[in-house]
Amino acid sequence: MDKVIETEALTKRFGDFIATNAITFEVGQGEIFGFLGANGAGKTTAMRMLCGLLKPTSGSAKVAGYDVASQTELVKKNIGYMSQKFSLYEDLTVKENIRFYGGIYGLSRPRIREKTVQLLEKLQITKEADQLVSSLPLGWKQKLAFSIAILHDPSIVFLDEPTGGVDPITRRQFWDLIYDAAHQQTTVFVTTHYMDEAEYCDRISMMVDGRIKALDTPRRLKAQFGADNMNDVFLQLARQQPSNE
């Protein structure tokens, strides 16, 4: 398995507070890696470091082969990122958003045109191409934001709670797009609060108070914790006493 993310004791402190505490893990090419934890567990902080947006206090990480502290521009070029408040421009049309981000990612005009047609067809929104993004339902915006995050064919895409606020069917459709990307060998690194989504991941890490407390396939985690579902695994981990390691 080619590794596209490798971290070694990656740590972020804010003053005396340790938001991400010496996390070490690897993610392979084409893997769907779920990054789970309660609110405030340190997921967004870790993800921002991996995207080259936040300098680690100590430890190290390589993403797509580049060091996240010293090669931030190369990291950013090789990843896609969809934040919780995904970054589409509401006052631009669907097509204008695609064109805008295609330009930011450095795609040529013909390539942007080609990608636009493909994307609109895939999402079945060709008719809506000239509508303002603000007029689209939330689930469509999420799918559009994801498709735009991978417009430049990055080797990894980071998704920070990409499906918040939509129903299970719409979430399921979103995950079809994730599977497609993974089949094309794009690595998907995803945080979520939804435990049904956790089941869709190849492997999952569970973070508690800045540390990774468990990391494995959903099936093995359930076996390890004697749990029927991921929610149960999550609750068991969250209930454990803080350790003094």
Ligand X SMILES: Nc1ncnc2c1ncn2[C@@H]1O[C@H](COP(=O)(O)OP(=O)(O)OP(=O)(O)O)[C@@H](O)[C@H]1O
Q: Which residues bind ligand X (CB under 6 A)?
A: 14, 17, 19, 37, 39-45
CB-neighbour burial class of residue 24 (10 A; exposed 0-12, middle 13-18, buried 19+): middle
- Smallest distance from the beta carbon of 45 to ligand X, in angstroms? 3
Q: Are 22 and 61 in contact (CB under 8 A)?
A: no
| Least distance in angstroms from the C-beta of 205 to ligand X | 12
**Min separation Cβ 1 and ligand X, Å:** 26
- Angstrom CA distances, 150 to 4, 23, 193, 200, stand at 16, 26, 22, 20
Closer CB to ligand X, 35 or 174, in the complex: 35
Q: Of the two residues 42 and 52, which places its CB atom closer to ligand X in the complex?
A: 42
Task: Retrieve residue 143's tokens.
Answer: 């799918």
Indicate the residue among 82 and 120 with the shorter CB distance to ligand X. 82
Residue (42 or 56) nearer to ligand X, CB = 42
Residue 137 beta carbon to ligand X: minimum distance, rounded to whole angstroms? 24
Instruction: State in angstroms the smallest separation of the CB of 14 from ligand X.
Output: 3
Strands 17-28, 3-14: pairing is antiparallel
Contact 122, 147 (CB under 8 A): yes
Residue closer to ligand X (CB basis): 42 or 80: 42
List Cβ neighbours of 25 (8 Å cut-off, separation of 6 or more): 5, 7, 205, 212, 215
